[in-house]
């Protein structure tokens, strides 16, 4: 049930601990604390969503560590570029395909769930998945185009033509995912809308990217120093699994922050459920 934060702000804070849900963020610290607060209160529901895409990667790490190592060596070892692609079993291909297909679906469901949690405190996980699945071919098509754009920019960056485009694509993901998954916009229009929104304040963008880079650095350091053996691989997979919702929480906070601060937002259509925010509040 949506509670008006202007009528009973103290009750909202005491009941749900959501101080800042309708506030634009002025510091990196306030963003990080808010993200940790939401994660602490809602991590059982968020991890329940995330576990669906985690199962294939965990099975690969547990039962096919040598195959994963050979794939990584093929792509990362400069001397292995002339070698033949590793011979993989059907099960490995199946798990890899499942992981690739499930990650966008899980991201979509989690972003919808986070939007409903942050705005309306609705934590119905089944509803989040239902709203994701009912997007049907439109969502699937947008996800395909989303990854094709990434691959194109990566390829062009090898020629130094697409490096600026790749950079813009990466920084726009802080609001890009919402425009695609939640508003169900086309990928192209979502990209331009995200960049237009972000261009209104690059300083605000860095506030959100600093904690995201911190989480990425933590996973990188873990994979760098805990590398050998299947147990190490499983540990790194578990770490990614635990931190994934936290990253998406920061994306969600960034989207709401930009929409409220720079578009004078009066409502957000979160999962086909319009929630009236009224006027924005400043910290």
- For 24, list phi and psi in degrees, rounded to 5: -80, 140
d(CA 134, CA 149): 24
Give the mean model confidence (pLDDT) for residues 36-62.
Answer: 81
Give the mean model confidence (pLDDT) for residues 85-92.
Answer: 76
Above 70 in pLDDT, residue 120?
no
At 140, the pLDDT band (50, 70, 90 cuts) reads low
pLDDT tens, position by position, 232-275 = 777 777 888 888 888 888 888 888 778 777 765 544 544 444 34
Give the mean model confidence (pLDDT) for residues 8-27.
Answer: 43
Pair of tokens at residue 282: 């400043």
In the block, which residue shows the tokens 């190490």?
232
Q: Is 281 helix (H, G, I), strand (E, B) or coil?
A: strand
> Which pLDDT belongs to residue 265?
54
> Which pLDDT belongs to residue 9?
34
Question: Residue 85 carries which DSSP code?
Answer: P
Question: Who has greater pLDDT, 1 or 172?
Answer: 172
Q: Is 242 helix (H, G, I), strand (E, B) or coil?
A: helix
Q: Is 6 helix (H, G, I), strand (E, B) or coil?
A: coil
Task: Residue 34: count other Cβ atoms within 10 Å of its Cβ.
Answer: 21
Q: Is the pTM of this model over 0.75?
A: no
Which residues share a beta bridge with 23?
A: 281
Q: Are 32 and 16 in contact (CB under 8 A)?
A: no
């Amino acid at each position: 049930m949506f509670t008006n934060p202007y009528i009973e702000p103290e009750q909202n804070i005491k009941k749900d601990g959501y101080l800042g849900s309708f506030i634009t963020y002025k510091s990196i610290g306030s963003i990080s604390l808010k993200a940790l607060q939401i994660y602490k209160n809602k991590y059982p529901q968020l991890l329940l969503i995330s576990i669906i895409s985690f199962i294939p990667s965990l099975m690969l790490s547990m039962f096919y560590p040598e195959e994963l190592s050979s794939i990584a060596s093929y792509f990362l070892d400069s001397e292995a570029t002339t070698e033949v692609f590793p011979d993989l079993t059907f099960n490995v291909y199946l798990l890899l395909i499942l992981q690739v297909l499930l990650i966008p679906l899980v991201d979509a469901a989690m972003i919808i769930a986070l939007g409903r949690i942050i705005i309306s405190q609705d934590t119905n996980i089944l509803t989040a998945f239902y709203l994701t699945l009912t997007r049907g071919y439109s969502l699937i098509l947008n996800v395909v185009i989303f990854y094709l754009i990434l691959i194109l920019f990566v390829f062009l960056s090898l020629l130094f033509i697409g490096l600026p485009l790749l950079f813009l694509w990466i920084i726009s993901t802080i609001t890009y995912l919402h425009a695609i998954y939640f508003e169900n916009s086309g990928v192209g229009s979502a990209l331009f809308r995200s960049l237009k929104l972000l261009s209104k304040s690059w300083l605000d963008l860095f506030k959100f990217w600093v904690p995201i880079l911190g989480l990425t650095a933590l996973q990188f350091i873990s994979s760098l120093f805990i590398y050998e053996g299947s147990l190490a691989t499983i540990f790194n997979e578990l770490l990614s699994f635990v931190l994934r919702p936290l990253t998406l929480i920061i994306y969600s906070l960034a989207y709401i922050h930009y929409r409220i601060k720079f578009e004078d937002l009066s409502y957000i259509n979160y999962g086909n459920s319009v929630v009236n925010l009224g006027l924005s509040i400043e910290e």
